[in-house]
Amino acid sequence: MRRYKYLAELSMACLLLVCFFFLSREAAQVSVALTSEKERQVIVVDPGHGGIDPGMIGVGELEEKGINLAVSLKVKSVLEQMGYEVVLTREKDEGLYEESSHNKKAQDMQRRIGVIDETRPLLTVSIHQNSYQDPEVRGPQVFFYKDSIEGEKLAKALQSSLNTATEQERPREAKGNSSYYLLKRSQGTLVIIECGFLTNEEEAALLKTEAYQQKVAEAIGEGIRTYLEGE
């Protein structure tokens, strides 16, 4: 009888040890996963427009979508050199829609938000080019969702960096907005960067060049670094 009691106690002890082992291993896996998620330094870069949507058409029939992509690819390279992981919403001249879609623009915007929500980045920058009826108006401008404290901080850091890098005589200020789809629908920190005015002949000519695109991309990278280091 005593022997059976001993064997039962031994079996129970072994079972407890096995349970403890598996629970410890599971806890360790969860801890590693949480640590990895915390340490991920991901930024989404969104080249606006693409495919059938050229965006703004400026001086000399210059299409916005191509400038957006060229600048975004350079921003990606700059940020990767800083040590960040970068996700692009598009990597070539295409829209994020099905050819059979009845509303390609709506589907395109929804899918951009889908990429951002799925990625859960530190922040998102959407790259665009501006336009205005007065051809003399020029200079980069950054928009943020008007009720977003973090969006405003990021926008101001980027605006300052872009104004300095492009040597603006009349520097613009970051501006709050509550109507742009991406700003309204994004769950995280997102800003829209208008790199310049394609309706200004001099600025449009600059934005076509690799050198100026690189200058803008580096300014965006510095603005992001300033914001993140401040955080």
Q: Do 83 and 10 fall within a single domain?
A: no
Number of separate domains in the chain = 2
pLDDT score of 32 more than 70: no
> 7 with 95, same domain?
no
Same domain, 87 and 149: yes
Q: Is the pLDDT of residue 61 over 90?
A: yes
How confident is the model over 42-60, as pLDDT tens digits? 999 999 999 999 999 999 9
Rounded to two decimals, what is the model's pTM? 0.83
Q: pLDDT per residue over 87-137, tens digit each?
A: 999 999 999 999 999 999 999 999 999 999 999 999 999 999 999 999 999
Same structural domain, 10 and 55 = no
- Residues 105, 22: Cα–Cα separation, whole Å: 50
Two tokens, residue 17: 């040890």
The CATH number of residue 204's host domain is: 3.40.630.40
Domain holding 59, by residue range, is 40-230
Q: Is 17 found in the same domain as 65? A: no
Both 90 and 12 in a single domain? no
Residues 26 and 84 in one domain: no
